[in-house]
Amino acid sequence: MTEEKRRAYWRENLRLMGVLMLVWFAVSYGAGILFVEALNSFSLGGYPLGFWFAQQGSIYSFVVLIFVYVWRMNALDRKYDVHEE
Amino acid sequence: MDTQTLTFIAVGLSFALYFGIALWSRAGSTKEFYVAGGDVSPVVNGMATAADWMSAASFISMAGLIAFKGYDASVYLMGWTGGYVMLALMLAPYLRKFGKFTVPEFIGERYYSKAARTVAVICLIVASITYVIGQMKGVGVAFSRFLEVDFTAGVMIGMTVVFFYAVLGGMKGITYTQVAQYCVLIFAYTVPAIFISLQLTDNPLPQLGLGSQMADGSGSLLQKLDKVLVDLGFSQYTAQKGSTLNLFLLTLSLMIGTAGLPHVIMRFFTVPSVKDARSSAGWTLVFIAILYTTAPAVGAMAMFNLVKTVQTDTVGVLQANLEYEQRPEWFKNWETTGLLTFEDKNGDGRIQYYNDKNPSFEAPPSWAGNELKVDRDIMVLANPEIAKLPGWVIALVAAGGLAAALSTAAGLLMAISSAISHDLVKGLIKPNISEKGELLAGRVAMGAAIVAAGVMGINPPGFAAQVVALAFGLAASSLFPAILMGIFSKRVNRQGAIAGMLTGLTATLIYIFWFKGWFFMADTAMAPNNSANWFLGISPEAFGAVGAALNFVVALTVSRLTAAPPPEVQALVEAVRVPRA
């Protein structure tokens, strides 16, 4: 693997990570803590929305985030031909 | 059959299963002993890691914590799950690529330094030992409460079981027993929750039940819970009480502490590939999320049932307060344990449960103070009885609590013994030890760690209650930043890493000790442990994130001022970043 390809692979990895961590921050620290009071004026079923994010939604989002990461990284590994076999 | 007999059967059967697995999965090589042979499937490892992670505290105490703190307890839910996103994206795949046996080993090689490895070993051992004492205590409590076996005898039985499969099978034995323990504990946790959700809301899924309308058509569960609590002078269940900064930092500290705990990280050394390490972290969180999304429903519903049992109608109406003589059977059962106590302060023979510390709450004139003290642990333990579920469900909860405590204890003991036999004995003291010798050293270290943990579980040092803050604070402020920078920076060198770890560690320890007493001797605290004295209102439990930030700043600064790591170490960083080549 050339130095250049190595850098490109790492850059794409970091970009993906950055996007996913942004969502991670938004659903927990954002919706669950910083903006919880504002979101509580909306409701989701019988849940105040901010409360739902803090005790349910953030956790579901975390699970989805990891599997999106797995899926995108497997594709990236193939693209740069660094996948294990 | 009575509940007692059923409990003996449930616990006996689960222990027999663990013994069977132990016999089947003996370790023959160091690779099997440390990383279960390195060929565990990602789903199996996910299940084992979930059991490894979910301790007696998750199983027994967390729902109770949520019941009494309401929204503010969300920090534990988010903190103890969000850490897995960091683990999956930032640590696990790279450490798997590194492909060795322990966390201190990575730190030692990446920072080309025995001193760094030694600091990591010390952090690991302190964090793990303090954590394991709590598990042993949980085992003793479960035995004494459900089986009426003496506390000490209970701990010894638990130790014997762990000794058997952990010494024989090492990581291999632990992995497969943890899978069995996960099945026991998740079944035991969700079955009562499903029944209670059905009773209150007609919805079999507790996750949806919590956000549903009441089965009797009286409105939404959470709104009713908010109202009954406010009527009794408590704050709204769904509203925020603590300071935003503290909630934020506590969540962050728990997340990076989770991602940095060595007994969790080392489980990712057991899967075959980098790809598997990534997906295994996802499976881990799936299995954890089943319990962690059920817990808020258990907490809220148990709180609702408790209040409704005692305060059956409008506050102020005399008949609305339960007569003590009319109290239900579960109430009597838990009174005998001392976890539920009633004191008739106004002598009316009825139970008043309310917030007598709230100056703006106008209690009816005949009330003379709160008469009911409830230990938060009974919220999960008494749940099946409160919901009038059959004896076998109660028996299941006992086996589940034991499974949660034993699986976590075994994982921690594995982290301790591998740090001793692999990092201290092979890495530092006797590098040319034979594989057989190292395997023996691992078994001896495991045995010694189990005995030490048992002794401390029976005679817990005064600080046992404070250990969670310490374990998470240590992992967050020392190990997590060192590993993270080791992967994401090629520039951070030996001097920077050691200075950073020591700074983060010292700052966090001093802050915790300042408010909780030096080495947890309460009378040596420098200031009362309350928000008025805390720096910027940050609680000692939440300080790990600040310690981690200090670690990063010091490590990056010192590294800039000193020479870059040697080329072979930079090549190592390049290598861990790519799955193949």
Under DSSP, is residue B213 helix (H, G, I), strand (E, B) or coil? strand
- Type of residue numbered A11: R
Beta bridge partners of B342: B372
Q: Which residues from chain A sit within 8 angstroms of residue B66, using beta carbons?
A: 55
> How many Å apart are CA A59 and CA A56, to the nearest integer?
6
Q: What is the ipTM of this complex?
A: 0.96
Nearest to B574 among A6, A65, A77 (CB): A6
For the segment B138-177, what is each residue's pLDDT rounded down to a tens digit?
A: 788 777 777 777 878 888 888 888 888 888 888 898 999 9
Nearest residue on chain B to A61, judged by CA atoms? B82
What does the pLDDT read at residue B501?
93
Q: Hey, is the C-beta of B38 within 8 angstroms of any chain A C-beta?
A: no
Residues in chain A closer than 8 A to B223 (CB atoms): 46
Is the CB of residue B142 less than 8 Å from the CB of residue B402?
yes
Q: Does B213 touch chain A (CB under 8 A)?
A: yes
Q: Which of A33, A69, A85 has the CB atom closest to B89's CB atom?
A: A69
pLDDT tens for each residue of B222-271: 999 999 999 999 999 998 888 899 899 999 999 999 999 999 999 999 99
Rounded-to-integer distance, Cα B425 and Cα B416, Å = 13
B273/A contact by beta carbon, under 8 A: yes
Query: Closest Cα partner for B300 from B235, B376, B210, B203?
Result: B210
CB-nearest to B74 from A10, A32, A69 is A32
- Single-letter code of the amino acid located at B442: G
- Burial of B454 by CB count in 10 Å (0-12 exposed, 13-18 middle, 19+ buried)? buried
Instruction: Give the helix/strand (H/E) hosting B41.
Output: none
Tokens of B372: 């009911």
| Cβ atoms of residues B206 and B491 within 8 Å | no
**pLDDT over threshold 80, residue A64:** yes
Mutate to test the interface with B, among A55, A79, A80, A82 (most CBs of B within 10 A): A55
A34 CB neighbours in chain B (<8 A) are 244, 248
pLDDT means over runs of 10, chain B (581 residues): 85 89 84 87 95 88 90 93 95 91 91 91 87 81 77 85 84 91 93 92 92 87 91 90 89 92 92 94 97 95 90 84 88 82 89 90 87 85 83 87 89 90 85 86 89 81 58 88 94 94 90 76 73 78 90 95 92 91 68
Q: Which domains does chain B have, with CATH numbers?
A: 3-304+387-577 (1.20.1730.10)
> Are the Cβ atoms of B78 and A40 closer than 8 angstroms?
no
CA distance A31 to chain B (A): 11
* pLDDT value for B520: 63
Provide the token pair at B20: 């069977």
SS3 B523: helix
CB-count exposure of residue B530 (10 Å: 0-12, 13-18, 19+)? exposed
Give the HSE-up count for residue B515: Cα atoms under 13 Å, Cβ half-sphere: 22
Residue of B nearest to A57 (CA): B293
Judge: B248–A29 Cβ closer than 8 Å, yes or no.
yes
Shortest alpha-carbon distance between residue A6 and chain B (Å): 8
In angstroms, the CA B564 to CA B410 distance is: 40
Q: Between A and B, how many residue pairs show a Cβ–Cβ distance under 8 A? A: 138
Listed by start position, the domains of chain A span 3-79
